[in-house]
A and B are shown apart, each in its own frame.
Chain A
Amino acid sequence: MNYSHAELDPRKALPFPKAVLPVLRNPQLRKNVAHAIDVIQTKRARLVAEKDDWQELRTAASAIRAHALENLGAYLEQFEERCTAAGGTVHWAADADEARRIILDLLRQEKASEVIKIKTMTSAEIQLNPFLEANGVSAFETDLAEIILQLGGEEPSHIVVPALHVNRSQVREIFARRMGLKNLSDDPKELTNAARTYLRQKFLAIPTAISGANFLIAETGSVAVVESEGNGRMCLTLPRTMITLAGIEKVLPRFQDLEVMLQLLARSATGERMNPYTSLWTGVTAGDGPQSFHVVLLDNERSSILAKAKQRQTLKCIRCAACMNACPVYRQTGGHAYGSVYPGPIGAILTPQLMQMKFAQSLPYASSLCGACYEVCPVKINIPDVLLELRAQVVNQERGRAARYFDPMYVGLRVANLLFAKAWLFHVAQRLGRIGLGLYTRKDGWIHSLPGIGAKWTQTRDLRGLPDESFHEWWAKRGSQPGKEGK
């Protein structure tokens, strides 16, 4: 049984206002999301408050990330050189298709029919798992949330806690069914233990692993992975072969830059002073861990985003998810309605850009522009600013289309354009509007329901009736009665 039927391919997903309807009618899902968000938000607020230098850390992180992006070519080449010198192999993939093929080729060289995976949103972005399945390779997710999703046939709804929309009794149902554990209770401890047992043999038996990367260090050619459970350490340590898929934007100039990022990341992501485990490795190390190591650097439209000065900041993101946790829209809808593996405010700007603005054009509108995301962002991405920029691009796309001449919104805007241009026309419209709306205004001064297109407003909220006189009229009257305002 699926708790939601999400389509996370932006090419096929419904527009946000339509995709959101089933969620809004699913009280259990909304309760699960709101509960999880409230817990993270409370913990984060407490830990951020105790950090006296939080704003200075944000400023530093923002500057480091911007500098890395401005010099991305040089830092990537440096990373490649150092990683190669340390025994790693670096591959470059221009798009999702190339990345999938490179990974499959590597797996075929290893004669691998099974692979274990550390949670990586980048692999979800390129839809790696279904591709591997279709080519005869079973991919086993090892992060607890990812197991819940994989076994339950669910899609991720959050980039840090992907199963946040699933509650404990739903997890119990999935595990009992798929692991054959009839007597499992819904105690999170027992559920976690079930996952530990389920995966232990896989860790010990499967010699090939795939990971993402939180950071690539140009100075040393190292890769860093931040995690909680130890499934990451298992995948990084036990297999023979390790394949890391990383977006080209993940690079940091120096090892020392982690002193800023690691202080911000866990506090922003899960409300912890530090996540339980962070691993850093450099190429291959004799006698310790995989002896064959590959990094696949993925472009997939990132270089197009990089080319646009205002939108470039999108790539500063370190995937902490603080923006979605703070977003009043996400809190109501959860992640699936965004139709992308990257939901929330960062998804609303990243997804349409990854799609070259050809899909997901509704996402820049899935925001009230309240700015909460910008306020919490540890690398200071001005998400509202980018949202506005993308909205402008969407409007420009629509300009040339015949349909816009009949779209009620554009008709309305054109009429408004006419009315606002001439004062006398505006006053006439005002009077007509007062008469028209007067028919629907109740005694309490509110309009509770409107016909036609106006119903879109009144079906969810009331509208204040127009006052008996306008400000202009009041002002004109006031002029003939000097001193009345009690000077």
Chain B
Amino acid sequence: MKAPLQSRQQIPRQRILERIRAATLDCAQDPAMREEAYAALPRAYTRHGQLSAEARLKLMIERLREYDAEVVETTPEALPDAIAAQLAASDKHSFLAPPGTPSEWMVTAAWKISGLEWTIDHGLATAEIEQSEGVVTAASCGIADSGTIVLHHSASEGRRVLSLLPDWHLIILRASQVVETLPEYFARFQQPSGLVTWISGPSATADIEMTRIKGVHGPRFLNVILVRDKS
């Protein structure tokens, strides 16, 4: 099926690349020079933040709250209880978790709250995910400067659809994962995973008269537990 389309594609491909080559005769570089030119590009912007660890976390929390996300802080020991408290306060009953979720998170939570339904995603159908009201995931990084949380969709962060369809998303972010600037994130993750989602607050729109409205298609509620795993 695909072969004829592929071969038909060869003609425009060559034509376009030839046009581009002709257009950039004055400036295109050979691979070694291109590497060198790339390395020499001006990058005088701020790469490393100046804040203390404490101030960095404070900024992260402040930024998240500006986006209307709810943030609580806890210690590693008290994390399962903090999760349970968040679930109880959410007024939701059916929750999802990615397959890599630490079991103690759920055991404690389920034990504390009656009538709570946990489903672990071992290849759930979309309709099943759509039926769930909330989801709990880990994250890869927090960026304080813009209040951004980054998911790389590992086993503990879950497939993309998992943190998309439920209306309520609880993210467990460790303090050691929080950097101050966006360049610090890129320094930390030079080899990106194939899938990355940068989340800055709950889904929103400003398409009607530039009024920011929370919650269009993504989760309308973003909750974050910040775990103080090192000082």
25 contacts between A and B (CB under 8 A): A36-B210, A56-B42, A56-B43, A60-B44, A73-B28, A76-B20, A86-B194, A92-B13, A94-B15, A161-B210, A188-B209, A189-B213, A192-B215, A228-B216, A234-B164, A238-B126, A253-B38, A255-B192, A274-B146, A277-B199, A277-B203, A279-B197, A288-B195, A289-B159, A297-B16
Residue A231 lies at the interface, judged by CB distance under 8 Å to chain B: yes
B92 neighbours in A (Cβ, 8 Å): none
Q: How far is the CB of B208 from chain A (nearest CB, A)?
A: 4
Q: How far is the CB of A53 from chain B (nearest CB, A)?
A: 4
A287 neighbours in B (Cβ, 8 Å): 123, 159
Interface code A164-180, partner B: CB below 8 Å = 1, 0 otherwise?
10011001000000000
A229-B204 in contact (CB<8A): yes
Residue of A nearest to B222 (CB): A276
A262-B12 in contact (CB<8A): no
Residue B78 lies at the interface, judged by CB distance under 8 Å to chain A: no
A237-B16 in contact (CB<8A): no
Residues of chain A from 260 to 299 with CB closer than 8 A to chain B in the complex? 260, 262-263, 270, 272-283, 285, 287-289, 297, 299
B44-A56 in contact (CB<8A): yes
Contact residues on A (Cβ < 8 Å of other chain), bracket: 35 or more
Residue of A nearest to B208 (CB): A188
Interface size on B, residues (CB 8 A): 74
Residue B58 lies at the interface, judged by CB distance under 8 Å to chain A: no
Residue of A nearest to B17 (CB): A73
User: Knowing A255-B186, A282-B194, A297-B16 touch, does A71 contact B28 (C-beta < 8 A)?
Assistant: yes
A interface, CB within 8 angstroms of B: 32, 35-36, 39-40, 52-53, 56-57, 59-60, 63-64, 67, 69-74, 76-77, 86, 89, 91-94, 98, 102, 105, 109, 142-145, 148, 161, 163-164, 167-168, 171, 188-189, 191-192, 195-196, 199-200, 203-204, 220, 222, 228-231, 233-234, 236-238, 248, 253-256, 258-260, 262-263, 270, 272-283, 285, 287-289, 297, 299, 303-304, 306-307, 309
Q: How far is the CB of A249 from chain B (nearest CB, A)?
A: 10
* 14 more CB-based (< 8 A) A-B contacts, given A92-B16, A233-B160, A288-B153: A63-B41, A89-B2, A91-B5, A144-B207, A171-B208, A188-B213, A191-B208, A192-B215, A220-B192, A237-B164, A274-B147, A276-B201, A279-B198, A288-B160
A237-B161 in contact (CB<8A): yes
Q: How far is the CB of A20 from chain B (nearest CB, A)?
A: 23
Of A60, A256, A273, the residue contacting B186 (CB under 8 A) is: A256
B192-A280 in contact (CB<8A): yes
B31-A74 in contact (CB<8A): yes
A70-B211 in contact (CB<8A): no
B148 neighbours in A (Cβ, 8 Å): 274
Of A64, A69, A304, the residue contacting B41 (CB under 8 A) is: A64
